[in-house]
Amino acid sequence: MSVHAQSQDVKMQLPAALHELIDQALDGIPLADLRSASARLSARYRAETRDGRAHVSDDLAARAYLAVRMPATFAAICASLDAVRDMLPDFSPGSVLDVGAGPGTALFAARDCWPRILRATLIEGSALMRRWGEALVAASSFEGAAWQSVDLASMPPALTAHDLVILAYVLDELAQDQRGPLIARLWEATADTLVVVEPGTPAGWSRILEVRDQLITAGAHLVAPCPHSSICPLRAPDWCHFARRVARSRMHRRIKDADVPWEDEKFIYIAASRHAPRAVAARVIAPVMARGGTVALKLCEHTGVAREHLLSKRNGDAFKTARRLAWGDCVGEHALFPADSAV
């Protein structure tokens, strides 16, 4: 049985060097101002506000983003890329296209996953966010970055092909009729694998489903999280999403006036490739519930169905496997749970 376990107790955090750079960016800014800017920013992200204004509209908002949103976005992208690496073990990208790059979050996540990335193109329409991104990437000693200013609300120009293309937390800021053309253009620019990440809300899931359908129609191989290319078996009010625990820095806790040293970032993603991934039996699509001598799993299975399983010690090896699984993990090709465990 092949299991790629990721415990929810493991807290993701930014690389130490990047964390230090962000602390320097916040130095001297009154805490009250950062708290106010952070509250406004969080409210816009939670409401997925689209009013013609950018979520990050001034320098104070940009600094607040670096403190409270960049760590969470980094964690969600890293989790998505970890799943790609698990499903495509031979994939080793040398170039990345980060679309809607903001301060370069996806590039940092990609290089954390694949340190040998040598070339990156970062597209960001906001001059403010691009300026911060250029500073952070330059300070990280990565010399292969080229920045472009492109308005993603209009059809972007033809793009040079890159091994890995990432579009993270962008679709929620675009009108529905702008999303399809953008995805089509990005798939054209994908030499190997495309990853799209959205907030883990019902609306974010709905947008990912649109991308999923479009990529299947284009002939892409679904890599993750879906273990099949059949119609998604989930129906509202249920929706597919995952979570990654994010370590809060001291400044992060002070800005949010929080005592808990972590928070959970909920996200949803789709990864597609021009190459078939390894086969898996299922993916865990809800928190694993272990109580006493039983484990409850909700799985999206390679057959195109989603169902819950309740396993106990009498299920032997299947029970031992279930105890090692966590939300978001995939279950190996031959790891099928017994039919009598379905509930």
Average pLDDT over residues 307-316: 92
Instruction: State how far the Cα of 253 lies from the Cα of 262, in Å rounded to an integer.
Output: 9
pLDDT score at 6: 42
pLDDT score at 122: 97
DSSP bridge pairs for 291: 294
pLDDT band for 4, please (50, 70, 90 cuts): very low
- For 91-101, how does the pLDDT look when each residue is reduced to its tens digit (9 = 90+)? 999 999 999 99
pLDDT score at 195: 98
Provide the percentage of residues in the chain whose pLDDT is more than 70: 92
Is residue 155's pLDDT more than 80? no
Q: What is this structure's pTM?
A: 0.92
pLDDT score at 12: 80
CATH number of 16-276: 3.40.50.150
Q: Rounded mean pLDDT of the chain? A: 89
Is residue 49's pLDDT more than 80? no
Which carries the bigger pLDDT value, residue 243 or residue 61?
Answer: 243
Domain residues of the chain, as ranges?
16-276, 281-341
Average pLDDT over residues 276-295: 94
- For 295-305, how does the pLDDT look when each residue is reduced to its tens digit (9 = 90+)? 999 999 999 99
Provide the percentage of residues in the chain whose pLDDT is more than 90: 64
Is residue 314's pLDDT more than 70? yes
pLDDT band for 23, please (50, 70, 90 cuts): confident
Which carries the bigger pLDDT value, residue 118 or residue 153?
Answer: 118
CA-wise closest residue to 165 among 126, 137, 192, 143: 192
Check: CATH 3.90.1070 for 281-341? no
pLDDT band for 333, please (50, 70, 90 cuts): low
Q: Among 79-93, 152-166, 213-227, where is mean pLDDT lowest? A: 152-166
pLDDT winner (highest mean) among 90-99, 239-248, 260-269: 90-99
CA atoms within 13 A on the CB side of 170: 27
Return the ∠ at Cα 187 (arms to 186 and 188), rounded to 5°: 90
pLDDT score at 1: 34
